[in-house]
Amino acid sequence: MPREFSAGGVVVRPGDGGWEIAVIEPKSDDGEKAAGKKRLKQVLALPKGLVDAGEKPEQTAVREVSEETGLEAEIVTKLKDIKYVYVRTWGDKQRVFKIVSFYLLRYRSGTIDEISKEMRVEVKRASWIPLADAQRKLSYRGEKEVVALAQKYLQENAQEAK
């Protein structure tokens, strides 16, 4: 079974009502709608992507956050590795074992959703949401667990994260 290694981040910034995190809405496959399938509900996810050759997961997390959200951020701490198996929906339809390393990142600069035209193929939109709502709004179980760890870390280390 092929293996894939990815990395991503929970980007946080202080907001008026508490912490906020950056999320993305991946671009959906419009072909499915054209084929007559029901429209799926909105998918919200954390920014993440494949680790490039010669790149460390921490570097990938920072790069993917920048590419997919338009934000510059710095690593605070590693949160968790998520492991799962998925079936490729393209090409060989093969089962793939995937590990995604997630990091907590501190927002530094940039405007959310100011991303390149090329990235619009992958990302429909990026936005800030309250961290308190993230476990309810995110679409993937593993990412909900990562956000819970980020919340716990921020409660225990509030000064360090600012």
Q: Which domains does the chain have, with CATH numbers?
A: 3-29+41-156 (3.90.79.10)
- Residue 98's H or E segment, with its range, is strand 95-110
Each residue's pLDDT tens digit, 148-159: 999 999 999 876
Q: Are strands 3-15 and 95-110 parallel, antiparallel or unpaired?
A: parallel
Report which residue type is found at 104: L
Each residue's pLDDT tens digit, 39-96: 567 899 999 999 999 999 999 999 999 999 999 999 999 999 999 999 988 788 899 9
